[in-house]
Amino acid sequence: MNYLYFVIYMIVGIATALISYGFLIEPRRLKLIHYKINLTGLPEQWHGRRIVFLSDIHAGPFYPPSLFAKAVNAVQKQKPDIVLIGGDFVEERTNFKKDGFRSDYVAELSRLKAPLGSYAIYGNHDTEASENRVYVHDLLKDAGITLLANEAVNIDGIILVGLEESYHQKPNLQAALERLKSRENDVGGAKGRDNVQNFRSGGTTGQDGDQNYGSGDTKGQDSLQGNSQSDTLTKHDSPNNHPQK
């Protein structure tokens, strides 16, 4: 009987530790990874520029604005030329009715400054309900961050494409490029997936691998909540990503 109690206590203890880590410790971890990205045909003005990518904020009781402020500080210390955000700004526990919480997050997001701008996409948590989608849309608008949902922009000779997420929306790379083409008459030769040299996504929720985006397959790469990524662009004969030592 004593042995049975011991086993039960051990199971309960391990479960409690895992839950505590998942809700109280892991969201507070911040890991910065540096990559050197080599792109074929990189415009000269982009050589050496720095991109910071962050994702999966999951604003809520376990990740309040005060914690997000630390991530923003880390991003700004990298002196990025452009900031990209991979979605999942909210989650099931986000209090959409709390004005102070929202205004504090707007203030922190507004601090993400970069010469070439800050851009974001939706994550699956941002679009699982219309309330979520509207909340995130307005949050980003008030913070001065450009939301790309099957949209593309030409940034100093580089085409940046932001796709809709694939759980509740329909990502379409070709549609994004066609919209840009209709505005600018030319998209610098970009014609769909064959010209995609670098792809970034947030937590893929079990979709790590080939994903269909309307015109073909591209690769997803996970970035955990609390993580950010600093990329430096260089010219190279072939496109590869190399973590820097």
Q: Where are the domains of the chain?
A: 30-243
Are 42 and 232 a contacting pair, CB within 8 Å? no
User: From CA 133, how far away is CA 225, in angstroms rounded?
Assistant: 19
Of 130-144, 185-199, 211-225, 231-245, least confident by mean pLDDT is 211-225
Query: Which pLDDT does position 204 carry in this prediction?
Result: 46
> Degrees (nearest 5) of the Cα angle 84, 88, 90?
125
User: From CA 75, how far away is CA 65, in angstroms rounded?
Assistant: 15
| Percent of the chain predicted with pLDDT > 70 | 63
- String of b and e for 165-201 (b: at least 16 CB within 10 Å)? bbebbebbbebbbbbbeeeeeebeebeebeebbbebb
Residue 20 burial (CB count, 10 A): 11
pLDDT at 60 over 60: yes
Mean local confidence (pLDDT), 172-195: 68
User: From CA 105, how far away is CA 115, in angstroms rounded?
Assistant: 21
Residue 112 burial (CB count, 10 A): 21
pLDDT at 148 over 70: yes
Structure confidence by residue, pLDDT tens digits, 83-137: 999 999 999 889 998 999 999 999 999 999 999 999 999 999 999 999 999 999 9
CA–centroid distance for 224 within its chain: 9
